[in-house]
């Protein structure tokens, strides 16, 4: 391949720029012309792309967000939209693509390959860490560090006022952020989508803490927990603990922003280079990942359909540390 393009799709994640940088410089090193597609699949449909040089990606490794912008594309979900995207790539002579995104982005890439034969290699960029085929995804480590910093500060005010805080972190289908924040933040309980927990379990845990003269507590809630988000769980707890001062903090999109951690910069750089070298060497319809510190390629089909399980050791740690 002599002419390829890179794009970011779906939710942004710290480290995406480091990945873009690695893709661009890797392509140039191997003698390929590299283009950047703006606004993900929307930009692909509209032909919003421009050539990238080594200078184009200077001074971005430390920046959060994505210089290529990102957007969700309803049009690309249709066969007509994907046909427009294919025609746009043909008009610009693009022979292969690097997709930096999560499961929704990879689902689109898989369908695009099956319908039009466009060679695509992915790099997993999502703070949720819910993609099979890699131990960690780009942005996860930074998101956890950001959330921990916030939880530590909330703990201070909880201690000062003898309050119970229910803190909601991101994780619609995954409890990876929540479980690590719970351990690192010393939470009394962690609610995640992967395990079934009842309101009674939450109340009993808090009451046990109170009986041990604990004056403040932190409960970390993944937004996708089956009971509900932090607001819903806190409302149920108030009914059973009328004398408790219960508050809610939803960390929200702050977890997606900020400068990527050193770990995310290294991870994104490894994945970006692996993705572009894989594409140039004939790989397609696969995702570049890192497992046990080794670079691996996983078919999109597996990356998006195989459930990535939460470590039982982490769940066990939460239980032991707060017993």
Reference 289, options 126, 179, 63, 89; nearest CA is 126
Q: Is there a contact between 150 and 254 (Cβ–Cβ < 8 Å)? A: yes
Q: Is there a contact between 134 and 305 (Cβ–Cβ < 8 Å)? A: no
Q: Is there a contact between 269 and 290 (Cβ–Cβ < 8 Å)? A: no
Phi, then psi, of 307 in degrees rounded to 5: -75, 125
Question: Tokens 């395990």 sit at which residue?
Answer: 195
Examine the residue annotation and report whether 152 is marked as an active-site residue of this protein. Answer: no
> Of the listed 12, 103, 128, 141, which one is catalytic?
128
Q: Is there a contact between 84 and 48 (Cβ–Cβ < 8 Å)? A: no
Neighbours of 205 (CB within 10 A): 18
Neighbours of 246 (CB within 10 A): 18
CA within 13 Å, CB half, 5:
27
Reference 249, options 142, 126, 165, 322; nearest CA is 165
Kindly provide the b/e burial profile for residues 49-79, where b requires at least 16 CB atoms within 10 angstroms of the residue's own CB.
beebeeebbeebbebbbbbbbbebbeebeee
Q: Is there a contact between 78 and 53 (Cβ–Cβ < 8 Å)? A: no
CA–CA separation, 204 and 309 (whole Å): 27
CA dihedral 110, 112, 113, 115 (to 10 degrees): 120
Residues forming the active site: 128
């Amino acid at each position: 391949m002599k002419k390829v393009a890179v794009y970011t799709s779906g939710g942004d994640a710290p480290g995406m720029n480091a990945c873009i940088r690695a893709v661009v410089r890797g392509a140039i090193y191997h003698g390929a012309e590299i283009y950047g597609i703006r606004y993900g699949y929307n930009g692909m449909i509209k032909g919003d792309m421009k050539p990238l040089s080594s200078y184009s990606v200077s001074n971005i490794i430390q920046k959060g967000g994505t210089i290529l912008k990102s957007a969700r594309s309803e049009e690309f979900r249709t066969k007509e939209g994907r046909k427009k995207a294919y025609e746009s790539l043909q008009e610009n002579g693009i022979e292969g693509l690097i997709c930096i995104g999560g499961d929704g982005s990879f689902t689109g890439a898989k369908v695009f390959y099956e319908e039009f034969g466009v060679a695509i290699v992915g790099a997993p960029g999502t703070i949720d860490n819910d993609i099979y085929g890699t131990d960690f995804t780009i942005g996860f480590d930074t998101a956890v560090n950001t959330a921990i910093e916030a939880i530590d500060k909330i703990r201070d005010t909880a201690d000062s006022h003898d309050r119970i805080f229910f803190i909601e972190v991101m994780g619609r289908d995954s409890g990876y952020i929540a479980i690590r924040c719970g351990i690192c933040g010393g939470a009394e309980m962690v609610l995640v989508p992967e395990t079934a927990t009842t309101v009674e379990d939450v109340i009993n845990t808090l009451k046990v803490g109170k009986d041990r003269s604990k004056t403040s507590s932190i409960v970390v809630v993944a937004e996708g927990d089956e009971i509900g988000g932090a607001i819903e769980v806190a409302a149920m707890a108030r009914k059973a603990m009328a004398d408790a001062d219960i508050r809610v903090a939803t960390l929200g999109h702050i977890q997606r922003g900020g400068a990527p951690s050193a770990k995310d910069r290294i991870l994104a750089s490894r994945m970006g280079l692996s993705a572009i070298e894989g594409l140039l060497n004939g790989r397609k319809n696969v995702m570049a990942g890192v497992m046990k510190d080794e670079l691996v390629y996983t078919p999109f089909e597996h990356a998006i359909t195989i459930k990535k399980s939460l470590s039982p050791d982490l769940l066990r740690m939460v239980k032991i540390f707060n017993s």
